[in-house]
Amino acid sequence: MKKRRMYFRMITASLIRRRSRMLVALLSIAIGATILSGLVTIYYDVPRQMGAQFRNYGANMIFTAVDGSFTQDDINSGLSYIKKDDIVGVAPYRYENVRIREKSILAAGTDMEGAKAASPYWSIDGEWPSKDSEILIGANAAEQYELRIGDDVTVSYTPENAQVSGDNGEDIVEDETIDFKVVGILDTGGNEEDYVYMSMSDLEKLTNSETKIDVAELSISASSDQLKKYSQEISNQVSSINARLIKRVTASETTVLTKLQALVLLVTVVVLALTMICVATTMTAVVTERRKEIGLRKAIGASDKSIIWEFMGESMLLGCVGGILGSVLGFVFAQQVSIHVFSSSISFRPLLVPITILVSVAVTGISSLMPIKSATDVDPALVLKGE
């Protein structure tokens, strides 16, 4: 039998046949590895998770026209520079002055699905318009025009240059009108409450003009650096669009994210230190209760180096098993945290498995070094004396 085989036979026998003792040590290593692997998983997933959370606060990029207005094709060109997975929602807006019950109001034509995705914080009483001739009216405007959900309302638009002469020579204004049904009342706490929202096609019909977009709001899930890159690239490449970041959103996202990541990192380092202390304490206890065995081994000819290697082998094997358990349980832990805190599942990072095992082996090895070194001080004569 080769020496190496006997070595592995000894260290596995020590772990398997002394399992009730080793279970405590394994438990401390596995718990440490679990928390460590879980926290690292969360640390790397925080930007993604928080990015998704921040998207609830609305758009973080805005397209404005370089010269008057732009088209849907311009938006599409701009979007081609952004990774598809990063795009949460795009809402184009065209604003026109219209009249309801002879009073002027600002109408916004938009893509309702895009607005819903880009502004998830909008609170709607009723429903989002889902077909033509349905409108969403801001809460202030609804109050002002005494409109309720289900009311029919005529919206009129006076085109520029629409003046014609009447039979008696007086000026007559030919209005475009469309009958709408109020399906929802919008509550945002902002300027949106003063507007009326309709589909882009209804506004086109009302104004009897082709689509021209004044502004587009984009909600993009990306880091602030990436957002900067996107906006610069789009502004440079698409001549009709000026892409700008909504700084109050992106800056606060970055600040919160940096602080959160720093906090998770700090907790990870503290857990690592506590794990090392815990493992070192456990290994000290393991070595102390095996002083007689160490004395015996030395008495029958074991060198200090052999003793160190045997105990190191045991602790590293323990670290390896603890690391495997920890990487599995760590993912489960991170998953639970993610589901309960962020309400979404976490992505599995295969690279974390070997890293957790390596860190676990290293932490166990380093923590065991001192107690194992002290084990070599055991006097073999103590064994003979029966002490």
Partner 1 sequence: MSLLELKDVFKIYGELHALDSINMKVEKGEWLSIMGPSGSGKSTLMNIIGCMDKPTKGEVLLDGVDIAKQSSKNLTAIRRDKIGLIFQQFHLVNYLTAVENVMLAQYYHSMPDEKEAMEALERVGLADRAKHLPSQLSGGEQQRVCVARALINYPEIILADEPTGNLDEANEEIVVDLFHKLHNEGTTLIVVTHDPEVAEVAQRKIVLRSGKISKEVVNKNFTGKIHFE
Query: Which residues of the shown chain bind partner 1 in the complex (CB under 8 A)?
Result: 1-3, 5-7, 9-10, 13-14, 17-18, 292-293, 296-304, 306, 379-381, 383-386
CB of residue 285 to partner 1, shortest distance in Å: 17
CA 137-141-143 angle, 5° bins: 110
Sequence letter at residue 106 = L
The sign of the CA dihedral 315, 321, 324, 330 is negative
14 vs 34, beta carbon nearer partner 1: 14
**Cβ closest to partner 1, residue 335 vs residue 376:** 376
Q: Which is nearer to partner 1, 20 or 165 (CB)?
A: 20
Q: How far is the CB of 307 from partner 1 (least distance, A)?
A: 10
**Total length of the chain:** 387
| Best CA proximity match to 83, nearest among 116, 56, 48 | 48
Least distance between partner 1 and beta carbon 323 (Å): 23
CA–CA gap between residue 159 and residue 177 (Å, rounded): 11
The 3 state secondary structure assigned to 159-191 is CCCCEEECCCCCEEECCEEEEEEEEEEEECCCH
Residue with Cβ nearer partner 1 (233 or 293): 293
Q: Which is nearer to partner 1, 260 or 382 (CB)?
A: 382
| Smallest separation (angstroms) from partner 1 to the CB of 14 | 6
* C-alpha–C-alpha distance, residues 30 and 275, integer Å: 9
DSSP letter string over 268-336?
HHHHHHHHHHHHHHHHHHHHHHTHHHHHHHHHTT--HHHHHHHHHHHHHHHHHHHHHHHHHHHHHHHHH
Instruction: Quote the least distance from Cβ 292 to partner 1, whole Å.
Output: 7
Separation between Cα atoms, residue 205 and residue 190, nearest integer Å: 28
Q: Tell me the two tokens of residue 147.
A: 């409109």
| Alpha-helical regions (H) of the chain | 3-17, 19-54, 72-79, 112-118, 139-144, 200-207, 224-237, 247-289, 291-299, 304-337, 352-375, 381-385
